[in-house]
């Protein structure tokens, strides 16, 4: 018997993407939703907040949660990331643990593996970046019970049809949680800020570590060109000077490249204004973290 389309039972659920910084979580989300919604960087810990990708097809709606990368440092900022990650893992239907087969026992994986061991959700293993790997895959690392194992590349897409088919079979039946057209739960304003942050990561050297954040202060679509004013926050005066660059060259470059991508995202012309401001020790100050939208998850 074939059900009419409106009665087709759909599988709907949350899939947490967990893994060491840099293992390719954001790249995979972007690939699966077919659009750049999570910023990608060759440097670790670029993803700071929950970003959902939503994949809807005739079988399912899989809501992908990009778990923030976790470092084994004890500062307040990192503790918030750990709390957020634990909270996200507990709320999902399946945890997909991404690992790099070239480094099957990577110590960078430990903080996240530790969190995964403590969840009671089903965990799957995905060996990622297999486009760069030859030979037989390593055995699944010990200590975590993986229900299923996949070999994928978020970069070139291999292995993804098998992964998606398995998800479509495993997610619980339920009504759609998002409009089928929607690919992210983040709004365009947030994504515009993320694109600015991505260009900063791309162009700034090691001098600017993780003490740089972007806040979108104004996002006005009422004009002919969308007007966006974003504030780049640094921890030090010296960092501010580097962000601005000689004669404003760095800021100009970041602004131009970000604007082009924001225009693609919005499908309309954009006027992007960037400001740089020093806010010493913002990462240690909870009030400032909250102001920037980085808050610990609700404890209820
Ligand atoms: P995340 O920190 O886990 O979100 O990792 P990203 O998605 O930002 O990727 C980190 C780096 O790995 C970037 O330079 C990506 O281009 C690269 N990368 C991600 N996925 C793949 C993959 O499947 N194959 C290869 N060769 N590189 C990848
Ligand atoms: Mg990421």
**Could you tell me the distance, in angstroms and rounded to a whole number, from the CA of residue 42 to the centre of ligand 1?**
7
Question: Could you identify the atom of ligand 1 that is nearest to the CA of residue 69?
Answer: 2
Task: Answer whether 100's CB lies under 8 Å from 23's CB.
Answer: yes
Does ligand 1 have an atom closer than 6 angstroms to the CB of 30?
no
Q: What residue spans of the chain are helical by DSSP H?
A: 25-33, 76-90, 110-117, 160-170, 188-203, 237-244, 249-266, 286-291
Q: Ligand 1: which residue has its CA nearest to atom 18?
A: 24
Q: From first to last of its 300 residues, what are the pLDDT tens digits of the chain?
A: 444 555 455 899 999 999 988 899 888 988 998 766 666 665 554 554 455 688 988 899 999 987 766 666 666 767 777 777 888 888 899 999 999 999 998 888 888 898 899 888 999 999 999 999 998 999 998 899 999 999 999 999 999 999 999 999 999 998 888 878 777 777 788 889 989 988 988 888 665 656 788 989 888 877 789 999 999 998 889 889 999 999 999 999 999 999 999 998 888 899 999 999 998 877 666 666 665 555 544 433
Mutational test site, ligand 1, from 27, 51, 129, 159, max ligand atoms within 8 Å of CB: 27
- 11: tokens are 């599988």
Q: Ligand 1: which residue has its CA nearest to atom 2?
A: 22
**Could you tell me the distance, in angstroms and rounded to a whole number, from the CA of residue 224 to the centre of ligand 2?**
33
**Could you tell me the distance, in angstroms and rounded to a whole number, from the CA of residue 68 to the centre of ligand 2?**
7
List C-alpha distances in Å: 203 to 73, 200, 251.
25, 5, 10
């Amino acid at each position: 018997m074939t059900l009419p389309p409106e009665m087709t039972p759909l599988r709907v659920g949350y899939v947490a993407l967990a893994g060491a910084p840099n293992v390719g979580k954001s790249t995979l989300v972007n690939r699966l939703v077919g659009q750049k919604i999570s910023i990608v960087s060759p440097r670790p810990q670029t993803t700071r907040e929950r970003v959902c990708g939503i994949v809807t097809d005739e079988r399912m709606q899989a809501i992908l949660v990009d778990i923030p990368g976790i470092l084994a440092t004890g500062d307040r900022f990192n503790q918030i990331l750990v709390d957020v990650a634990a909270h996200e893992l507990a709320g999902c239907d399946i945890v997909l643990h991404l690992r790099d087969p070239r480094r099957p026992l990577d110590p960078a994986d430990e903080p996240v593996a530790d969190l995964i061991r403590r969840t009671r959700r089903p965990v799957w293993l995905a060996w990622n970046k297999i486009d760069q790997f030859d030979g037989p895959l390593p055995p699944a690392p010990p200590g975590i019970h993986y229900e299923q194992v996949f070999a994928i590349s978020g970069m070139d897409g291999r292995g993804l049809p098998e992964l998606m088919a398995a998800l479509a079979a495993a997610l619980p039946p339920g009504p759609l949680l998002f409009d089928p057209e929607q690919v992210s739960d983040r709004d365009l304003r947030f994504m515009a800020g993320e694109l600015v942050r991505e260009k900063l990561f791309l162009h700034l050297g090691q001098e600017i570590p993780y003490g740089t954040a972007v806040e979108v202060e104004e996002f006005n679509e009422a004009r002919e060109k969308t007007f966006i004013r974003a504030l780049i926050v640094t921890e030090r005066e010296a960092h501010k000077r580097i962000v601005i660059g000689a004669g404003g060259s760095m800021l100009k470059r970041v602004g131009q490249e970000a604007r082009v991508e924001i225009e693609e995202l919005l499908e309309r012309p954009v006027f992007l204004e960037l400001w740089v401001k020093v806010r010493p020790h913002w990462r240690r100050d909870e009030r400032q973290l909250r102001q920037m939208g980085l808050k610990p998850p609700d404890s209820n």
